[in-house]
Structure 1
Amino acid sequence: MVQKKATLKREMGLTSALTTVMGTVIGGGVFFKVSILARDTGSGSLLLLTWVLAGLLTIAGGLCVAEIATSIPKAGGAVNYIEAAYGKLPSFLLGWAQILIYYPANIAALSIIFATQLVSLLGLSLSLIVPIAAFIALSITGLNLLGARLGSAVQNLTLFIKMIPIILIIVFGLLQPQGQSVPLWPVAPGKNIGWFTALNGGMLATMFAYDGWISVGNMAEEMKDPKRHLPIAIVLGLGLTTVIYALINWAFLKSLPIGQLAHDPMAAASSAKLIFGQLGGRLVTIGILVSVYGAINGYTMTGMRVAYAMGVNDTIPFARQFRRLTGTKVPLWGALFQVSVALVMLLLGNFTFLTDMLVFVMWIFNTLIFAAVFILRRKAPDLERPYQVNGYPWVPIVAIIGGSFIVLSTLITQPRLAGIGLGMTLLGVPVFYWQQRRQRARRQD
């Protein structure tokens, strides 16, 4: 008897898709990038415009990914898109970059955020930031090793809590009668800051807060009507996220002058204290901590499974070890490798450097995915496409131009950061060929 291949159930309607998009994207970055944005742009008008531009680029990118995701609805997402358009080596390098840079850097950066916020909340010594961050990264990894159900429960609990401080800061921050004046025109960078440098720094900062959008197309296989509902969920979900991000940053600007924001890494907490008073500010800060904790948990839970998948496919050295599961069916070596790299990053890097590096590296692959819309339409014209990107070819062109700006401007303005990111990614090239040679040798045996 032939067993029918298991498929995902098409149970997700438009509302579920919409909340999934927003829940995936909205994380801890929005609370902790405002000081960096204020420093890099030097003006409230350009700061707010950067959030809007990043949101529009994210929407264009999401629509491109939606076309490919509905055509290639396979587990692993972007790795499959890159392989279909460019081959096995670029696909491997994306997976390599994810397990070596993307997930560990996110865990390390968000753990630093959590520790910094906790130290400020409790009035502890700054010397405790790294030890607390390391403990958080290790403890969340340990929690996830206890089983996927527990990790998912933590994720579900923190999903809605994260919106509480955001809504409170927006509503009360914009309505405060003694707020700062925020001129929206003319849009220009601050004194002694060039447009090119300001936009590069601003886009790197904001794209970290929008991180997670690349996964929105993965919902296609579970949606009742992906052709109609997926583009609506992407445009409306990411559009609402853009509005929320712009409004909360406007509230930050109304609370503190741009110069003070630029020199306050705890700007979100400082704004909350000004808006709600000492006790209210502390309560909002606790809500922010819960939000960041949930974001770390999400990256930990999903990241360890990338190394496991590469082990199952035998595309990574020590594949047998990476295939190993705990008694609770959780990838053991994927989790240990991920947290080990994150701990090294904690010791060697800082929040801004880590987030800018992961944004730079991942946007190389994001831009390749946008271009893959054109490549796959030519290379595989008969491929079933339940959804075709709206505004073709202009939307993919806008996405490619935006992605190229992030990559090229980082190479020009931050060559050290770009060099380290590229170097770590290209380390995967000899690893790929070594693994290919081992596979051929095993087949010959």
Structure 2
Amino acid sequence: MNNELKKTLGLSAALSTVIGVVIGSGVFFKPQAIYTATNGGPGLGMIAWVIGGIITITAGLTAAEVSAAIPKTGGMMVYIEEIYGKKLGFLTGWMQTVLFFPGTIAALAVIFAKQILELLGYNPDANMIMVLVIAIVTILFIAFLNTVGSSLGGVIQTVATVGKLVPLIVIIIFGFIKGNGNPILQPLVGPGATVGGALGQVLIATLFAYDGWINVGALAGEMKDPGKDLPKAIVGGISIVMAVYIVINLAYLWVAPASELAAATAPAALVAERIFGNIGGKIVTVGILISVFGALNGYLLTGPRVAYTLAVKKTLPFSNGLAKLNKGGVPSNSIWLIAILASLYALTGQFNLLTDLTVFTIWIFYVLTFIGVIKLRKEKPDLERPYKVPLYPIIPAIAIIGGLFVIINQLLTATLIALGGIILTLIGIPVYSITSKNK
């Protein structure tokens, strides 16, 4: 029996995967958080999309070296375990299980619910009970779909890809044709805001929109020539995403000023309505909803696999139940665990708060992964590396510095959110001690 992955992926398949994985909900909703942070100043927001893209490219290029050198299933949790030991590896998986995946799912469900209410003509802020009900029902419904089997997930992802590309293309083309032009780079920030004070906040917003790049390294084992094609796929794919993000944000600003985008729950929907009128705006909004639904499905498809992996190792409480597969061959108990946690997070009714929490926490572990590349180079120089990060150590240094800036800035400017993420993560230490003893 041959368990090795078939090396069938070329550059074009890898490129399209990068683009498909990274473009999600952030590009449609995050301009609101960005222009709120800049007090309606457009310039810093546009610059943040470029800086966020550069940090993401260096992050992808750096983490891919670890992915290629440690071609095991499990992603970042496995890399960190190999580099730093079992306890830190467990903490990575724990953080993803109790915080990153459920928190991100909750954020997407909340914005999905708010968008549905706006589509139906209700004010979401005045109907928070309806927002919470729709968000939780959506989470539980997608969880149920994923317990049936994984084949349906693939169909949803295909539909969602079309769903997110159509509004992007339509807004870009018609935004420039029908928009009347607004300031794009001046002023950098609005009255009362400072560049130094707002930079961290706008970066954490753009990094949410760029998230997903960590999954790209997993392709290394299936690529015909990862040494040559993986860096091209990462740089090319994220550069295309960055170009799309910059162009669509220019289109947003061309149609509506930054001060109005800051006041809109869904800037993309506001812009679509300005361009196409009420009916056309609603049609584009449906496309955005399909995209968010697909992102929700993607996180509920992948997140429970982390919980399941930890349960198989018997490092989670109730591991016996969480490690069970149902008749469809899916870890249904792990899916329900993530769905229930996500439903609890959704009770906050917050999109930006939840995404700030998850991005801050996941970036701590991303930075550990980048440092791990340097650590592995020193400790295991003879390790087979099908792909090496170019311009070493400059690229890893940029990724580390960029990540540390975001982490430290959040600690200083959004201390409660940051501490919440750290505490939830550190709860994993006593959990690991207890489950290790029980084993």
Q: Per the shorter chain, which TM-score range?
A: over 0.9
CA distance in 1, matches of 2:101, 2:250: 30
Q: Report the Cα offset of residue 124 of structure 1.
A: 3.3
- State the partner residue of 1:215: 215
Which of 60, 63, 75 does residue 62 from structure 1 map onto? 60
Q: Report the Cα offset of residue 349 of structure 1.
A: 5.0
CA distance in 1, matches of 2:153, 2:266: 28
Q: Report the Cα offset of residue 219 of structure 1.
A: 0.3
**Cα deviation per residue 1:170-221 (whole Å; 9 max; x = unaligned)?**
1111232x423224257x3222112222111101111111111111100000
**Cα deviation per residue 1:277-311 (whole Å; 9 max; x = unaligned)?**
22211111010000000000000011111111111
CA distance in 2, matches of 1:159, 1:10: 25
Name the SS of the counterpart of 2:352 in structure 1: helix
- State the partner residue of 2:301: 301
- State the partner residue of 2:70: 72
- State the partner residue of 2:103: 105
Tell me which amino acid in the other structure corresponds to 1:169.
I
Residues 187-226 of structure 1 aligned to structure 2 (within 5 Å): 188-226=188-226
Does residue 88 of structure 2 align to residue 90 of structure 1?
A: yes
**Cα deviation per residue 1:136-185 (whole Å; 9 max; x = unaligned)?**
11100011111011122211221232111001111111232x42322425
Does residue 29 of structure 2 align to residue 32 of structure 1?
A: yes
Which of 39, 48, 51 does residue 49 from structure 2 map onto? 51
How high is the TM-score relative to the length of structure 2? 0.97
Name the SS of the counterpart of 1:327 in structure 2: coil
Q: Report the Cα offset of residue 85 of structure 1.
A: 1.7
Aligned residues: 434
Does residue 140 of structure 2 align to residue 153 of structure 1?
A: no
CA distance in 2, matches of 1:67, 1:344: 36
Q: Report the Cα offset of residue 231 of structure 1.
A: 0.3
8 A contact 2:216–2:234 mirrored in 1: yes
Does residue 19 of structure 2 align to residue 22 of structure 1?
A: yes
- State the partner residue of 1:286: 286
Does residue 162 of structure 2 align to residue 164 of structure 1?
A: no
- State the partner residue of 2:185: 184
CA distance in 2, matches of 1:29, 1:11: 31
Name the SS of the counterpart of 1:33 in structure 2: helix
Q: Which runs of 5+ in 1 are unaligned?
A: 440-445
How high is the TM-score relative to the length of structure 1? 0.95
CA distance in 2, matches of 1:290, 1:148: 19
CA distance in 1, matches of 2:69, 2:291: 33
- State the partner residue of 2:132: 130
Cα–Cα, structure 1 residues 290 and 183, in superposed 2: closer, same or farther, change >3 Å? closer
CA RMSD of aligned residues (A): 1.2
Cα–Cα, structure 1 residues 311 and 237, in superposed 2: closer, same or farther, change >3 Å? same
CA distance in 1, matches of 2:313, 2:427: 20
**Cα deviation per residue 1:230-279 (whole Å; 9 max; x = unaligned)?**
00000000000001011111111111111111111122111001112222
Name the SS of the counterpart of 1:406 in structure 2: helix
CA distance in 2, matches of 1:179, 1:235: 34
**Cα deviation per residue 1:81-127 (whole Å; 9 max; x = unaligned)?**
11122111111111001010111011110011111111001113632
Name the SS of the counterpart of 2:347 in structure 1: helix
- State the partner residue of 1:264: 264
Name the SS of the counterpart of 1:192 in structure 2: coil
Tell me which amino acid in the other structure corresponds to 1:182.
P
Tell me which amino acid in the other structure corresponds to 1:275.
I
Q: Which runs of 5+ in 2 are unaligned?
A: none
Does residue 320 of structure 2 align to residue 320 of structure 1?
A: yes
Residues 414-429 of structure 1 aligned to structure 2 (within 5 Å): 414-429=414-429
Q: Report the Cα offset of residue 79 of structure 1.
A: 0.9
Q: Report the Cα offset of residue 406 of structure 1.
A: 0.6
Q: Report the Cα offset of residue 5 of structure 1.
A: 4.1
When structure 1 is superposed on structure 2, of 149-158 and 242-251 the one drifting more is: 149-158
**Cα deviation per residue 1:31-50 (whole Å; 9 max; x = unaligned)?**
01111101112321111110
Tell me which amino acid in the other structure corresponds to 1:141.
A
Which of 2, 9, 12 does residue 9 from structure 2 map onto? 12
- State the partner residue of 2:146: 144
CA distance in 2, matches of 1:407, 1:57: 13
8 A contact 2:182–2:255 mirrored in 1: no
CA distance in 2, matches of 1:253, 1:333: 45
8 A contact 2:59–2:370 mirrored in 1: yes
Name the SS of the counterpart of 2:329 in structure 1: coil
CA distance in 1, matches of 2:349, 2:434: 30
Tell me which amino acid in the other structure corresponds to 2:144.
G
8 A contact 2:42–2:186 mirrored in 1: no
CA distance in 2, matches of 1:226, 1:183: 39
